[in-house]
Amino acid sequence: MVTAPFPATRTAWFRRRLSVPAPRVPAPDPPHERDAALRRLDELFALDDGADIPEMTRTRLLEPEVDTPTTVVIWHGFTNAPSQFLAVGERLQDAGYRVLLPRMPHHGQADLLNRDLKNLTEAELVAHVNTCTDIAAGLGRRVWVVGLSAGGTMAGWAAATRPEVSRVVIAAPLIAPKGFPMPAVRLCVKYPRIVPGMYMWWDPRVKADLGHSPYAYPGFPLPGVVPFLHLSESLFDGSVRVRHRLERAVLVSNSNDLAVRQDAARAFGASVFGPSADYYGEAVIDPGLSWAHDFVDPWSPGAGSTEQVTAILSACLGLGDPAAGGVLVPPLVAEQPIT
């Protein structure tokens, strides 16, 4: 499907005509002591108890041997699980950063063919983001957030609504599916009942035999996408605004991505986070690498190595080589030393 170029105005005509109620933004409630934060974390862990959530898809906290003031929260992609970022999280842990890998609601179940995502709501997503950010803020004074695809939308929501977040990396955020007109996105958010309840295979040719990650769902009920779009639309139309100053915000884009609209992601990042960040940039993955949308999962074809993905996230967070070893073209602007 051919889509029109993305409108340059912050609030396009269809957003002005189709009002959408913004999700309620709960007040932050970060624990003031580490022990209290760990108790909140235990409550998050308890959501994973039971045989329906395998060990590898459960929420994880990775802590370095030496205490650190920085917690990096990394949200996995749509229909995937925390295992997607485990290897990268371990590299960041080795580098001295605390890493929280949350399992998003209705994800990570042992039955990969479940239809539970049809029950997902934007209120669940907002509550989940708030809980994870509360825990991260209770464990250290600096909170940085990262996410891929739907996880990028989650990271964006955290960066916009939580003043504790100072740096954000949104990789291929789920602002609009590839080839999907933006007015149609708005219509689906405003009138979710028009979204058919059909189950969509990621690859209709092989269906359940996707052959990639043993932890990712091979498909999804179409309504499960809408709550993420509700969050992004609420940020896009300005009904939920970034009300604090961010040190750094970076969008990761990939010209070989066939899952999401990159023009929409660029407009989203620039309009929502550009005005509120001391540094806003776009990390462009070298198209010659031919990486796919899910370029981070070690089980997926078209993915980078763990070292390459870690280098990209480090560059985006302002920690390492701005070119990520030549993966990013052109390199990002280097960050000032962290104080």
Question: pLDDT digit string (tens) for 169-227?
Answer: 999 999 999 999 999 999 999 999 999 999 999 999 999 998 889 999 999 999 999 99
Which domain does 145 fall in, by range?
13-326
pLDDT at 1: 34
Helix axes 262-272, 226-236, angle to 10 degrees: 50
- Is the separation of the CB atoms in 49 and 38 below 8 Å? no
What global pTM score does this model have? 0.96
Q: How far is CA 315 from CA 8, 18, 26, 162, 169, in A?
A: 28, 38, 32, 23, 10
How far apart (Å, rounded) are the C-alpha atoms in residues 262 and 251? 10
pLDDT at 6: 58
- Is the separation of the CB atoms in 186 and 15 below 8 Å? yes
Residue 249: in which H helix or E strand, if any?
strand 246-253
**DSSP labels, 119-135:** G--HHHHHHHHHHHHHH
**What is the domain-level CATH number for residue 222?**
3.40.50.1820
241-261 exposure pattern, b = at least 16 Cβ within 10 A, e = fewer: ebeeebbbbbbbbbeebebbb
pLDDT of 55 over the 90 cut: yes
Query: Is residue 333 domain-resident?
Result: no
Query: Is residue 1 domain-resident?
Result: no
Domain count, the chain: 1
Query: Is residue 165 domain-resident?
Result: yes
Query: Is residue 331 domain-resident?
Result: no
- Is the separation of the CB atoms in 240 and 158 below 8 Å? no
Question: What percent helix, strand, coil does the chain show, rounded to 5?
Answer: 35, 15, 45
How far apart (Å, rounded) are the C-alpha atoms in residues 18 and 24? 19
Query: Is residue 182 domain-resident?
Result: yes
Pairing of strands 246-253, 277-284: parallel
Query: Is residue 289 domain-resident?
Result: yes
Query: Is residue 7 domain-resident?
Result: no
Report, as an integer, the average pLDDT of 324-339.
Answer: 84
Query: Is residue 134 domain-resident?
Result: yes
